[in-house]
Amino acid sequence: MAEFRSTHVLDCRGLADGFFDWVRARRAELPYTPGLATLTLKGHTDAGSAQYRDMILKDARSLGMLARSVEARDEAELTAAVENLNADHEVQGVVVMYPLRARRPDEDFMDLVSARKDIEGLHSLNLGYLLKFRRWLDEPRGLKCVVPATAKAVVKALQSRPEVSLDGAFCTVVNNSMRVGKPLGLMLENLGATVVKCYDKTARETLEACVRRSDVVVTAVPDPSFKLDPEWVKPGAAVVDVSFGGNVDSEALMGRAALVTAPGNRIGRLTRAMMFVNLIYSCAAAAAPEAAGRDS
């Protein structure tokens, strides 16, 4: 880590706007209007997921893209809807609103979505590319791999600041989910960091020991009652709070951490921007399917 002098509050919205501008420019170069579809399971979608879906659809329309919301009545209808969207030439990106809280695990549905249209980066093929640190499907043709949007947003946020050096850093990620903790750990390791992932089964004293030695702390615990003690944070560390309700008091970290996220300006908008960056990548791969070597 760079020498600690003062606390910088990360402007995730500003970073997101820059990526959205990039998406608009790339979208204008396409000979067609790309489309995105969201999928929900009726009666299983909480208020947070519904709000996130609505923001994604609003973003798509503001970017001049087609936007469609699909709600399935049951799991059989959800499976059929995924298959229909996989075959729909007007849709280049499919976003399933997890957690589905269905009988089948979310991971099954992640692999039902075509890897070509998986702009969340959760298909086993896309996660496999991440595991192997493969960045390109075809570099000479500019075809990039898709990686999970939230994890990518966190990395882009950390890389945006000179206070943070990931190469050689010790990082604690307080989340072990398929959407955040697991892919983020891989990304940070690929960039030279040593990573420890903690979650709800991690003993409190173990979590404290990990956080105290960390150069970077990323927390994404969905339980609103979960809180990290600001006193655990090492002076000069970077703390990125991905949670909706807030896992750590950012005000208490002022003058202690080198980098923090603030309420109302966390990773959400940047995550959506990364999703649309992935959509542009999927559009490029769809135009050259033989180069991608991906399933349908």
3-state secondary structure of 117: coil
Q: Identify the pLDDT of residue 292.
A: 47
pLDDT > 90 in the chain, percent: 83
User: At 254, is the pLDDT very low, low, confident or very high (cuts 50, 70, 90)?
Assistant: very high
Asked if residue 24 has pLDDT above 50, the reply is yes
Asked if residue 277 has pLDDT above 60, the reply is yes
Q: Looking at the structure, do residues 276 and 261 belong to the same domain, yes or no?
A: no
User: What are the tokens at 109?
Assistant: 């549905």
Residue-wise pLDDT for 172-184, tens only, equals 999 999 999 999 9
Residue 97 contacts residue 45 (beta carbons within 8 Å)? yes
Domain presence at residue 104: yes
Domain presence at residue 179: yes
What gap in Å lies between CA 204 and CA 209, rounded to an integer?
9
Q: Looking at the structure, do residues 63 and 103 belong to the same domain, yes or no?
A: yes
* Among 187, 116, 113, 104, residue whose Cα is nearest residue 150: 187
Asked if residue 293 has pLDDT above 90, the reply is no
Residue-wise pLDDT for 219-235, tens only, equals 999 888 999 999 999 99
Domain presence at residue 21: no
| Cβ partners under 8 Å of residue 165, min gap 6 | 1, 2
* Structural domain count of the chain: 2
Q: Identify the pLDDT of residue 128.
A: 95
Section 46-60 average pLDDT: 92
Q: Looking at the structure, do residues 92 and 196 belong to the same domain, yes or no?
A: no
Section 66-82 average pLDDT: 96
Integer angstrom CA distances of residue 33 from 100, 234, 250: 29, 48, 41
Q: Identify the pLDDT of residue 1.
A: 46
Domain presence at residue 247: yes
CATH code, domain carrying 113: 3.40.50.10860
CA 249 to chain centre: 22
pTM of the model: 0.92
Residue-wise pLDDT for 195-215, tens only, equals 999 988 899 999 999 999 999
Domain presence at residue 7: no
Find the domain containing 121 and state its range. 33-135+271-286
User: At 5, is the pLDDT very low, low, confident or very high (cuts 50, 70, 90)?
Assistant: low
b/e per residue 56-94 (b: at least 16 CB within 10 A):
bbebbeebebebbbbbbeebeebeebbeebbeeeebbbb
Q: Looking at the structure, do residues 199 and 172 belong to the same domain, yes or no?
A: yes
- Number of H-type helices and E-type strands within the chain: 10, 11
b/e per residue 238-250 (b: at least 16 CB within 10 A):
bbbbbbeebbbeb
CATH code, domain carrying 241: 3.40.50.720
User: At 121, is the pLDDT very low, low, confident or very high (cuts 50, 70, 90)?
Assistant: very high
What gap in Å lies between CA 239 and CA 201, rounded to an integer?
21
Domain presence at residue 295: no
User: At 264, is the pLDDT very low, low, confident or very high (cuts 50, 70, 90)?
Assistant: confident
Half-sphere exposure of 52 (CA within 13 A, CB side): 23
Asked if residue 289 has pLDDT above 60, the reply is no
Strand duo 194-198 + 170-174: pairing: parallel
Q: What is the mean pLDDT of the chain?
A: 93
Asked if residue 294 has pLDDT above 70, the reply is no
Q: Identify the pLDDT of residue 94.
A: 98
Domain presence at residue 180: yes
Least confident piece of the model among 58-62, 143-147, 236-240? 143-147
Residue 46, by phi and psi: left (phi above 0), alpha (psi -120 to 50) or beta?
beta
The amino acid at residue 141 is R
Q: Identify the pLDDT of residue 295.
A: 53
Q: Looking at the structure, do residues 211 and 191 belong to the same domain, yes or no?
A: yes
Domain presence at residue 229: yes
The amino acid at residue 101 is R
User: At 141, is the pLDDT very low, low, confident or very high (cuts 50, 70, 90)?
Assistant: confident
Q: Identify the pLDDT of residue 245.
A: 84
Q: Looking at the structure, do residues 68 and 123 belong to the same domain, yes or no?
A: yes
Query: Given strand 170-174, what is the order of strands in its sheet?
Result: 8-9, 259-260, 238-241, 216-219, 170-174, 194-198
Q: Looking at the structure, do residues 163 and 117 belong to the same domain, yes or no?
A: no
Q: Looking at the structure, do residues 230 and 260 belong to the same domain, yes or no?
A: yes
Q: Identify the pLDDT of residue 266.
A: 86
Q: Looking at the structure, do residues 263 and 210 belong to the same domain, yes or no?
A: yes
